[in-house]
Amino acid sequence: MALEKADDQAIKPGDSEKEKTDWAGEAKSIGLLLLAVLAFHSLVAKPFYIPSVSMMPGLLVGDRLIVSKYAYGWSWVSPTFHILPRMEGRLFGSLPERGDIVILTPKDQSSDYIKRVIGLPGDTLELRGGQVFLNGEAVDQEAQPDLQLPIDANAPCGSREFPGLRGTDAVGNTICSLPIVRETLPNGVSYDIIDLGPEITDDIAPVVIPEDHVYLLGDNRDLSADSRVSSPLGLNGTIPWENIGGRAEFITFSLDGTTSLNPVSWFTSFRSGRAGTSLRPDRDDSAAE
């Protein structure tokens, strides 16, 4: 009986040695989780933030969106952090379609840009008075009613970017009245652009797009450092397809720029009506070339 009592006491929890935390195992688990997230962002999809006005009216400063990384295959630019050397070609590659909104890395930069694909390999592209011509044919443009965009901290309608366009709507709200043109590409894809008037980039001499290259424009035609712009911040002509990192799919949410340390602002700063908006352009197959 004494032996049985001693055995009972030996297995009491209070007398057992406490388990030690396996810090090496915890670190390994966290590392594997981070690798899985990076792999997903590099190969499947990643979030993207809109920092500029170059893709208005469709994309506003403060929009958060999802980019699919597999849409055109993978290349040196696919990893979330551009750690691979610049190499030609793509794995399981395919060209974007005209009208796709894509994420890309310029030829001599490491930052990501977002623009719309207009010209494909073999196309001859030019601009005359702000109108795009593809292979000698004018891309259809149709004036639309002005867009009355509500003004907020992320869309202030500054006098430098949008001179004279601030106003009020019928109920007295401050708005930015933006001139909109509906552009339709030869494949039937349509989208809205902003044309503020004559600019030096409205006229571009004919360019023959090389093999495996694309020509990209911003939808805010007068405020976009795209393929027309030769400068340290511009795209300086056509872009190799391996520099395209993915296709913009949809907006997840949008912030108006009033977020602060006050938790209430985390909710009040959300712009209504933008979450879930598709970024795939409208298409009229009957109008396609």
The one-letter amino acid code at 261 reads L
- Which residue is catalytic, options 42, 54, 177, 227? 54
With CA atoms as reference, report the closest residue to 153 among 274, 269, 256: 256
Active-site choice (46, 69, 75, 115): 115
Is 115 labeled as catalytic in the residue annotation?
yes
Asked if 139 contacts 287 with a C-beta cutoff of 8 angstroms, the reply is no
CA distance 118 to 214: 7
Catalytic residue annotation: 54, 115
